Amino acid sequence: MGATTIGMMDAAYFVGRNEILSWVNNTLELSLSKVEEAASGAVYCQLMDVVHPGMVSMHKVSFDAKSEYEMIQNYKVLQDVFNKLKIGRHIEVSKLVKGRPLDNLEFLQWMKRYCDQINDNQVNSAYNAAERREACKGGKETNRRALGMGYSSQSSNKPASSASVKASSGAARRVTTENMNPNMNGNGRGGGSAGTNVNAAKHMKDLGKEQVSAVNEDYVKQITELKLSVESLEKERDFYFTKLRDIEILCQAPELSHIPVVKAVQRILYAAEDEPSVIAEAKAMMEESDRDMLSPGSQNMDDNNDFLGRGSREH
């Protein structure tokens, strides 16, 4: 089954947003933190450029698009590519430009499935995403932001580390001085209070370690509980997905696909997320089928009349 015709219950639509964002960022050398950041359409255009080099008019793509009008221009470029490649996937531009997370996540999930099929799950190592983006409006600024974010994430721990080193060094010097001068008080004169101060400092240090250890244990416990909860939810999701997938396969069987109830089930399976009337439509399909079966002139009615006619002649 091609990516352009995959059903809503396909495994492609169960890929999480973190995995999707990681795939987009690695493929396009970007630093997206939310799926709705792809709403302008520029990311979708460049993903198509990865798998079909030269097919996308990158100079017409704007990574700086802010208004819906500017975003729609990007989607026109994308639609032109879809038309050239005869891709039957419908682009719901009016929803995507609103920046709603679920709509953009679903389209990115489909994009990943399509790109994986074209590239046979391989990364196009020859593609230079930053260089291709240079031709786009706002592409250079996007590259600078992506580069800055990458550098920032790599160096974010350096100030804390330096501060820790300085603090540790200062503490080490104070402890060394105290150990070398155990009888010196704060004014540099010998006295009995020095030992008390050292013991108090040691006690506070030990108390701090205990508190940190208790907090760490609490965090570990919470993380463990969350992991178990996620695993349980994933198992439940996979169970119901398998059942629905089996139903979908059964409904696609040629000998069953014409049956009204099967058509009604398919209507429910392939309904979009924002179609609240799908159950009513499925019931209407069933009722219409029943009327057709019982209406005068139908094959079933003719068969019934023939049967009744034969019975009366026999009597």
CA-nearest of 153, 7, 133 to 59 is 133
Do 124 and 254 share a domain, yes or no? no
Q: How far is CA 308 from CA 290, 296, 304, in A?
A: 20, 15, 6
pLDDT above 70 (res 166): no
Q: Is residue 26 part of a domain?
A: yes
Q: Do residues 27 and 146 both lie within one domain?
A: yes
Residue 57 lies in a domain: yes
Whether residues 259 and 143 fall in one domain: no
Is 240 inside a domain boundary? no
- Domain assignment present for residue 13? The answer is yes
- What was the pLDDT predicted at 305? 54
HSE-up of residue 231 (Cα within 13 Å, Cβ side): 6
- Domain endpoint, select from 154, 173, 199: 154
Say whether both 150 and 279 belong to one domain: no
168 assigned to some structural domain: no
What is the pLDDT at residue 47? Answer: 96
Q: What is the pLDDT of residues 76-112, one digit of tens each?
A: 999 999 999 999 999 999 999 999 999 999 999 999 9
Q: Is residue 141 domain-resident? A: yes
Residue-range definition of the domain harbouring residue 256: 249-309
41-45, 222-226, 290-294: which is most confident: 41-45
Residue 179 lies in a domain: no
Whether residues 138 and 8 share a domain: the answer is yes
**Boundary (domain end) residue, out of 91, 124, 154:** 154
Least confident of 37-41, 225-229, 292-296: 292-296
Could you tell me the CATH number of the domain that includes residue 116? 1.10.418.10
Residue 35 DSSP symbol: G
For the question of whether the overall pTM of this predicted structure is more than 0.85, the answer is no
Are residues 258 and 133 located together in one domain of the fold? no
Total of domains in the chain = 2
Taking CA atoms, 108 is separated from 27, 67, 82, 149, 271, in Å, by 13, 21, 15, 22, 19
Q: Are residues 12 and 150 in the same domain?
A: yes
Of the three residues 154, 169, 204, the one that is the final residue of a domain is 154
- For residue 51, tell me if it sits in a domain: yes
